[in-house]
Amino acid sequence: MNKQELKKFKFTSYDKSYSTEIHIKNPDKYREIEKDSSLSDDLISMGSGFSYAPASFKEKTLSLKMDKFNRILHFDKKEKVITVEAGIKIYELLNFTLQHNLWLTQIPGYPLISIGGAVASNSHGKSCGIDGTIRHSIKSISLFHKTNGWINLSEKENQEIFDLTIGGLGLTGTIVSVTLKLVDFDGKFETTKQEVNSVKETINKIKKTEPSTFIYSWNMANDKNDFGKGIVFKNKILKTQNKKYNFKVLKKKNLLPINFWNKYSIKFSNFFFYNFHKLLKKSLDEKFLDVIFPFYGKEIYFNLFGSKGFIESQLIIPEKNIDEFFNEFLHLNKKLKPSITLFSIKNMSGKQKLIRFEDNNICVTFDFVNNKKNKEFLQHLDKLCIKYQILPSIIKDSRLEKDIFDKCYSEADIFRDKLSKFDKRRYYKSEISNRLKL
């Protein structure tokens, strides 16, 4: 390997937990993927580099950044099928498909994320209670592996590697193109809101699924008396003639060096958010962008964590354990008083397998300020994950340890065995794969 020839770049994960020098190559042609992959024995593919946890890089590793592979290769409107290169950004894909009244529902909440990154993390969108994860929309994948070469993957061809690649965090090789099934969208979103006073009331409301409706909540976690108080949002798709979509590229905002989030600012922003939605119209037409990409234009939320960043804990909790889990969570919350800036609940559907974050249960998200006190709280939360058979997200939580991961993901060893069978030398590596010994 010729690392001297490769330029070094400092790269930081989106949650700011990990920063290191890496090598980056931006292949532009198919033969450049082959050539660049031969430059290093430690490599990984990179989409937009927007994962909270360091999933597409590692110290001294070569990251193949796929953003020049952003073309639409094939589109069949009648069959509702599209083949795109993996580096295409979600907003670029939507700008094209929405002109034809089609879209992909399982898209993550930020428009600059790449399709390759969404496939490798088995992403889900706001509709995950009804549509599950992106796995359900993938027909086939074209993969390049440094020593195994070019491979077509689908349910019919190389099924085992297809299965390992979806949600496989780029560890099977470089996804070069993906064929996706699309669904109709010839409408607009109408958003309705309902106030809730507890976690129990929230869960009762979000469990009532309705066709073409996405349900999720925003709740408060800063005040023991108001714990769980919040708003349940419903986005219903309504048919309309009056449609116009054209999303523009966004730029990342600069980082603030100081953390702004503390118990006072969290209390104030929760009070403001709750009353704003309580007083605003209960039903309104919302822009596509605001519904599907809730953080679009609101990147300031992340910047306000300062240079130390944040920790996100996203958990899939079995419904049968949810009451007991929240009883213990509340007890710990009162005792350790963590600074929680975001608390949200939604339904998730699907079947857990390998290392995929997916199941037929309740999905709960918490954002924490990255500090010692909160990390201590999160260690207790890890124990609750084991106790209540909860699945913590790997791509979101950068501090998750192998021991916790192994106890929560029952097929972790099956993934490891199948991956080593496919790639004995284990060329593709990231900070996550290193930490979790994948």
Ligand X SMILES: Cc1cc2nc3c(=O)[nH]c(=O)nc-3n(C[C@H](O)[C@H](O)[C@H](O)COP(=O)(O)OP(=O)(O)OC[C@H]3O[C@@H](n4cnc5c(N)ncnc54)[C@H](O)[C@@H]3O)c2cc1C
Q: Is 258 exposed, middle or buried (0-12, 13-18, 19+ CB in 10 A)?
A: exposed
Distance CA 16, CA 109 (A): 19
> Minimum distance from CB of 19 to ligand X (Å)?
15
Residue nearest to ligand X (CB): 117
Distance CA 256, CA 356 (A): 33
Q: Which ranges of 14-110 would DSSP assign to H, the alpha helix?
A: 30-37, 90-97
* Residue (97 or 123) nearer to ligand X, CB: 123
Task: Write out the residues near ligand X by the rule CB under 6 A.
Answer: 14, 44-51, 55-56, 66, 86, 108-110, 113-114, 116-118, 120-121, 123-125, 169-170, 174-175, 295, 395, 430
Cα 269 to chain center, whole Å?
Answer: 24
- Number of Cβ within 10 Å of residue 167's Cβ equals 23
* Residue (86 or 419) nearer to ligand X, CB: 86
Q: Are 247 and 289 in contact (CB under 8 A)?
A: yes
> Minimum distance from CB of 337 to ligand X (Å)?
27
Distance CA 363, CA 377 (A): 19
Q: Which helix (H) or strand (E) holds 380?
A: helix 372-387
Which residues on neighbouring strands pair with residue 14, listed in sequence order?
A: none
* Closest to 114 (Cα-Cα) out of 45, 67, 174, 168: 67
Distance CA 88, CA 185 (A): 20
Q: Are 13 and 54 in contact (CB under 8 A)?
A: yes
* Residue (11 or 227) nearer to ligand X, CB: 11
> Minimum distance from CB of 389 to ligand X (Å)?
21
* Residue (108 or 392) nearer to ligand X, CB: 108
> Minimum distance from CB of 405 to ligand X (Å)?
15
Q: Are 54 and 36 in contact (CB under 8 A)?
A: no
> Minimum distance from CB of 293 to ligand X (Å)?
8
Q: Are 317 and 388 in contact (CB under 8 A)?
A: yes
* Residue (310 or 377) nearer to ligand X, CB: 310
> Minimum distance from CB of 295 to ligand X (Å)?
4
Distance CA 158, CA 162 (A): 6
* Residue (203 or 348) nearer to ligand X, CB: 348
Tokens (6 digits) for 4: 């001297």
> Minimum distance from CB of 349 to ligand X (Å)?
14
> Minimum distance from CB of 436 to ligand X (Å)?
12
> Minimum distance from CB of 242 to ligand X (Å)?
27
* Residue (14 or 162) nearer to ligand X, CB: 14
Q: How far is CA 339 from CA 166, 227, 357, in A?
A: 34, 13, 25
* Residue (171 or 384) nearer to ligand X, CB: 171
* Residue (227 or 310) nearer to ligand X, CB: 310
- Number of Cβ within 10 Å of residue 117's Cβ equals 29
